[in-house]
Structure 1
Amino acid sequence: MKFKLLTLLLLLSLNQIASAQKENWKNLFNGKDLSGWKAVAGKATFEVKDGTIEGTAVFGTGNTFLVSEEMYTDFILEVDLKINHISSNSGIMARGQFNPDARNGQGLVYGYQIEADPTPRAWSGGIYDEARRGWFYPLDLNPAAKSAFKMGEWNTYRIEAIGNTIKTWVNGQEVAYFMDDMDAKGFIGLQVHAIQKQEDEGRKTYFRNVRIQTENLKPTSFKGDVFVVSTLKNELSDLEKKNGWKLLFDGKSSQGWKGAYKESFPEKGWTINDGELTIQKSDGSESTNFGDIVTTEKFSAFDLAFDFKITEGANSGVKYFVTLSEGNSGSAIGLEYQILDDANHPDAKQGINGNRTLASLYDLIKAEKQARFVRKPGEWNQGRVVVYPDNKVEHYINGVKVVEYVRGSQEYRDLVAISKYKIWKNFGEAAEGHILLQDHGDEVHYKNIKIKVLK
Structure 2
Amino acid sequence: MQLGIHLMLLVTQTFAKVAPLISPSGMKMIQGNCLFCALLGMVALLANAKEESKEWINLCEDNSTKGWTPRAKVESFESVDGELNLLSKVNVWVLSNLQMKDFVVEGEVKIPLDYEGFNSGLGFRLVGDQGKPKGYQCEIDQKKPAAIYGIGLGGWIYPRKGTEAEYSKRVQGLFDANSWNHFRIRCIGPKAKTFLNGKLVAETDQLVQTKGSFGIQHHGKGGSVRFRKLRARAL
Normalising by structure 1, we get a TM-score of 0.37
Partner of 1:37: 68
Deviations 1:55-111 (A, max 9, x none): 1132xx2x21121112211110111111132242101101012252xxxxxx22222
Are residue 143 (structure 1) and residue 168 (structure 2) matched? yes
Within 5 Å, give how 1:54-133 maps onto structure 2: 54-58=85-89, 61=90, 63-85=91-113, 86-100=116-130, 107-118=131-142, 122-133=143-154
Give the 3-state SS of the residue equivalent to 1:142 in structure 2: helix
State which structure, 1 or 2, has the greater radius of gyration over its C-alpha atoms.
1
In structure 2, do the counterparts of structure 1 residues 22 and 89 end up closer, same or farther at CA, with 3 Å as the change threshold? farther
| Residues 61, 79 of structure 2: 8 Å contact kept | no
Deviations 1:393-450 (A, max 9, x none): xxxxxxxxxxxxxxxxxxxxxxxxxxxxxxxxxxxxxxxxxxxxxxxxxxxxxxxxxx
* CA shift for structure 1 position 181: 3.8
Partner of 2:200: 174
Cα distance in 2 between the residues matched to 1:211 and 1:22:
15
Q: Which structure 1 residue ranges, 4+ long, deviate > 4 Å from structure 2?
A: 20-23
In structure 2, do the counterparts of structure 1 residues 36 and 123 end up closer, same or farther at CA, with 3 Å as the change threshold? same
| Residues 94, 161 of structure 1: 8 Å contact kept | no
* CA shift for structure 1 position 146: 3.2
Cα distance in 2 between the residues matched to 1:146 and 1:23:
33
* CA shift for structure 1 position 113: 0.7
Within 5 Å, give how 1:15-414 maps onto structure 2: 21=52, 24-58=55-89, 61=90, 63-85=91-113, 86-100=116-130, 107-118=131-142, 122-138=143-159, 140=164, 141-144=166-169, 145-195=171-221, 200=222, 203-214=223-234, 217=235
CA RMSD of aligned residues (A): 2.2
Work out the percentage of aligned pairs sharing the same amino acid.
31
Quick one: higher RCO (CA 8 Å, sep 6+), 1 or 2? 2
Deviations 1:330-372 (A, max 9, x none): xxxxxxxxxxxxxxxxxxxxxxxxxxxxxxxxxxxxxxxxxxx
Give the 3-state SS of the residue equivalent to 1:43 in structure 2: coil
Partner of 2:10: none
In structure 1, stretches of 5+ residues that fail to align are 1-16, 101-106, 218-455
* CA shift for structure 1 position 171: 0.2
Normalising by structure 2, we get a TM-score of 0.70
Cα distance in 2 between the residues matched to 1:179 and 1:153:
31
Give the 3-state SS of the residue equivalent to 2:98 in structure 1: coil
Give the 3-state SS of the residue equivalent to 1:151 in structure 2: coil
**Structure with greater helix percent:** 2
In structure 2, do the counterparts of structure 1 residues 45 and 23 end up closer, same or farther at CA, with 3 Å as the change threshold? same
In structure 2, do the counterparts of structure 1 residues 84 and 39 end up closer, same or farther at CA, with 3 Å as the change threshold? same
Q: Which amino acid aligns with 2:180?
A: W
Cα distance in 2 between the residues matched to 1:186 and 1:23:
19
Q: Which amino acid aligns with 1:155?
A: N
Q: Which amino acid aligns with 1:175?
A: V
Give the 3-state SS of the residue equivalent to 1:174 in structure 2: strand
Q: Which amino acid aligns with 2:123?
A: M
Cα distance in 2 between the residues matched to 1:110 and 1:147:
31
Deviations 1:291-338 (A, max 9, x none): xxxxxxxxxxxxxxxxxxxxxxxxxxxxxxxxxxxxxxxxxxxxxxxx
| Residues 56, 232 of structure 2: 8 Å contact kept | yes
| Residues 92, 132 of structure 2: 8 Å contact kept | no
Give the 3-state SS of the residue equivalent to 2:172 in structure 1: helix
In structure 2, do the counterparts of structure 1 residues 181 and 50 end up closer, same or farther at CA, with 3 Å as the change threshold? closer
| Residues 68, 96 of structure 2: 8 Å contact kept | yes
In structure 2, do the counterparts of structure 1 residues 30 and 99 end up closer, same or farther at CA, with 3 Å as the change threshold? closer
Cα distance in 1 between the residues matched to 2:229 and 2:209:
25
In structure 2, do the counterparts of structure 1 residues 181 and 51 end up closer, same or farther at CA, with 3 Å as the change threshold? closer
In structure 2, do the counterparts of structure 1 residues 22 and 151 end up closer, same or farther at CA, with 3 Å as the change threshold? farther
| Residues 88, 205 of structure 1: 8 Å contact kept | no
In structure 2, do the counterparts of structure 1 residues 56 and 181 end up closer, same or farther at CA, with 3 Å as the change threshold? closer
**Matched pairs, number:** 180
